[in-house]
Amino acid sequence: MCFCLPILDGIRTSVMASMLNEAVSDADEDLITCHVCLQEFSSLEKHKPKFLDCHNYFCVSCIQGFSNVYSVPCPTCRRLTNIEGRKIEELSTNNVVLRLVTIETNRARELAEREKKRKAEADIEAKQQLWCTDCSFLAYGGCIKDNHQIKNYKEYYQDRSSHLQSIIGDIQSSCKQALNDFKKIQEVHASILFKLNILYSEMYIRMASSKDTVAELESRLKSVNDIDISEEEEMFNLIKKINHLVVEFSGKLEETQSTKLEAGNLLRSYGNNLNEAIIMLLNDEKLGYSRRHTAVGLRCKDIDSPSCSGFSHVKETSGAPSNKKIRIIITNTRTDALPSQGPSIGRPSATNSAKTSRQPAQKPKKAVSSFQKLR
């Protein structure tokens, strides 16, 4: 048994030494703590780790507590370790655990120093992260001294970032609305362009039609301008001659109408005393063709013609023809030589007599005066 202990100690030492190069983790905390008092092993005499014969190790203080005079029972496996003739401090020390304790102690010290340094750096960084809103720059001693408005840089950054995000959101919403509006405007422009194309086609057709009309009018104007001046003069003379004839025949028409009225008035005036009227007309030196070629002149010509020889025979034989014979001669005489619109040569009717009584007779007065001269 005594020979086995050095070998086992060597194995444990080699195994434990292989763990020296590895960092002590939380799972290795039970390796560097006593399983009885749960305190960390140390280089102090009372807290050094000591091996029992069962290869379990505990601190010296705990081994002294559950040992007796000759043996030490293991609290884990209940195996006895003979200590007769030796002290507990003479038991084998677990140097690997002591090395791990030293490493853990150094690591804890380093972690503590690192945390302290980190805190110091954090404090410095916190001081450097102060933002002066008055200067719009990182705060420094002068800003603090002058009581400028100072804020934490991160908080100020987050605040301004949130504000910027809200502005960006508003801009995006406005852009989307503007995009929709411009799309609608584009649709309206496309519709207007389509209608303008239709209008352009219609105006092009009308312009072509107008060109044809203008060309036709220009052709007509040219043909009018090409009329010979001599033809215009002939047309002017012809129109002038026609106007002259119209005036002349209008005068003759008025003269004829006046003659018809005069003859009618004479016949109406002397219708009841034809003997005296005919004698007056036969004895008038100016009887025959009157200067105006009236129907009365033509009628007198018919009376003097051979066709009215019966009247001359009566005049010569009887001297003073009776009214009855004169009426027969005049009645048998052709009346178609008189104007169609004038009254008949026969005895006037009651209606004609009434009209004659109402109408003034200017020319008959002259005829009556001539008759009075004959008497």
Strand, helix or coil at 71?
A: strand
249-295 pLDDT, tens digit per residue, is 787 778 777 777 876 676 666 555 555 555 555 555 444 434 444 44
94-140 pLDDT, tens digit per residue, is 888 888 888 888 888 888 898 888 888 777 766 666 778 777 767 66
Kindly state whether residue 208 falls inside one of the protein's structural domains: no
My answer on whether 79 and 163 are in the same domain is no
pLDDT band per the 50, 70, 90 thresholds, residue 235: confident
Look at 178 and 344; give whichever has higher pLDDT. Answer: 178
Question: Does the pLDDT of residue 164 top 80, yes or no?
Answer: yes
My answer on whether 266 and 343 are in the same domain is yes
Q: Can you spell out the DSSP letters for 255-297?
A: HHHHHHHHHHHHHHHTSS-HHHHHHHHHH-TT-SS-TT--HHH
**What value does the mean pLDDT take over residues 72-76?**
85
Kindly state whether residue 283 falls inside one of the protein's structural domains: yes
**What value does the mean pLDDT take over residues 57-76?**
84
Average pLDDT across the chain, whole number: 68
Kindly state whether residue 146 falls inside one of the protein's structural domains: yes
Kindly state whether residue 210 falls inside one of the protein's structural domains: no
**What value does the mean pLDDT take over residues 143-159?**
76
pLDDT band per the 50, 70, 90 thresholds, residue 198: very high
Question: Containing domain of residue 134, as a range?
Answer: 129-171
How far, in Å, CA of 254 to CA of 4, rounded?
184
pLDDT at 21: 44
* Count of domains observed in the chain: 3
Question: Does the pLDDT of residue 44 top 50, yes or no?
Answer: yes
My answer on whether 260 and 356 are in the same domain is yes
My answer on whether 279 and 315 are in the same domain is yes
pTM, 2 dp: 0.29
